Amino acid sequence: MLNITYPIFQAPMAGGITTPELISETSNCGGLGNLGAGYMDPKEIKEAIKQIRSLTDKPFGVNLFIPNVREVHFDEKELTAMTVLLNQYGQELGIEVPVSNQVNNYKALYENQLEEVLRERVPVASFTFGIPDREVMTELRKNGTVIIGTATNVKEALELEVSGVDIIVAQGSEAGGHRGTFHEEASGLVGSMALIPQVADAVYTPIVAAGGIMDTRGIAAAMALGATGVQLGTAFLTCKESGAAEIYKKTLLNSTEEQTTFTKAFSGKLARGIGNRFIHEMAEQTSLPFPLQNDLTASIRKKAAMLKQPDFMSLWAGQGVRMVKETTVKQLMRELIEGK
């Protein structure tokens, strides 16, 4: 279906991680590289796709975030309180966190992203945080684009199957970064060992397992549980080709499984990363809804990365983080395919 040699996906991590080099090299090695385009504007997507295509003639994917259909509700008082709070960190970093009650219009962004994805006739389009509309799926299908949805429990997988997606990524609770959950948050925290077979029992659609998979052992386990393919994020983060900041890579190389934790402090949506000062200090605070909280913390995360200050960066990582290595895509893919 995908015209790839090995059913190994490089996860579409957002925020500049999935460089054209990371994606193209994964695809050139026989896997499927994926662009984490959730926060990217159409021009950036267009440029990234152009670069990917200049580096590979193999298939690749583009991932988009389905925007919340509901309006993002928040209280002016909460917004002010959060801005004051964040400005304490801003002060430490020498920036002012702007008081913004303008939620970026993610619905319009998504529609523009989609247009670009359709225009570019990408080989694979994957979606997180929901199910694309029937019309969108029809248009993508006309282009021959393979459509991937993300589920974190059986109910979501069944809904994706009914919607007609071609592949379902089953994201176990071990996974780093945002939970793909589009139903109640607490319903989407199932470990891969339990999630994969239960999804496999429930749907006919091929399953790609994600969450905690780091090497051939994880791949064999996922296949035994009923997956047809695997998606790895954390293992690709420390590749030379990844766009992760050096300090982020260095932190991952020195982190252990129990240091990862769930937080909503960076974006307003539950995500797993390495616990740091920001996460710990914000643990008692109620974050504003996604994506408003994400917009509010953007300047802090950006400045912290510039200053190589991991205390205020979103260091997304899965629970398999102890197994990361300083490597290249070629070396990683070789190990994933041939074993050590």
Q: Which residues here bind its own copies, judged by CB under 8 A?
A: 153-155, 172-174, 184, 186-188, 190-195, 197-198, 201, 211-215, 217-218, 220-222, 224-226, 256-258, 261, 318-320, 322-323
Nearer to its own copies, 119 or 217 (CB): 217
**Token pair for 82:** 């959060």
Tell me the β-bridge partners of 33. Answer: 60
DSSP code per residue over 194-254: HHHHHHHHH-SS-EEEESS--SHHHHHHHHHHT-SEEEESHHHHTBTTS---HHHHHHHHT
Taking Cα atoms as reference points, which of 234, 247, 235, 287 lies closest to residue 265?
287
| CB of 224 vs its own copies, minimal distance in Å | 4
Between 155 and 330, CB nearer to its own copies: 155
Q: Minimum Å distance from CB 66 to its own copies?
A: 20
Q: How far is the CB of 256 from its own copies (least distance, A)?
A: 6
Instruction: Pick the closer one to its own copies by CB: 24 or 319.
Output: 319
Residue nearer to its own copies on the CB measure, 90 or 176: 176
Which value, in Å, is the radius of gyration of the alpha carbons in the chain? 19
If the CB atoms of residues 46 and 183 are measured against its own copies, the closer one turns out to be 183
Q: CB neighbours of 320 closer than 8 A, spacing ≥ 6? A: 174, 212, 213, 214, 218, 234, 235, 257
* CB nearer to its own copies: pick between 47 and 258: 258
Distance of closest approach, residue 172 Cβ to its own copies, in angstroms: 6
Sheet containing 271-274: which strands, arranged edge to edge?
A: 177-178, 271-274, 260-263
Cβ at position 69, least distance to its own copies in Å:
21
DSSP state of 318: -
Largest CA distance in the chain: 56
Q: Closest approach of Cβ 154 to its own copies, in Å?
A: 6
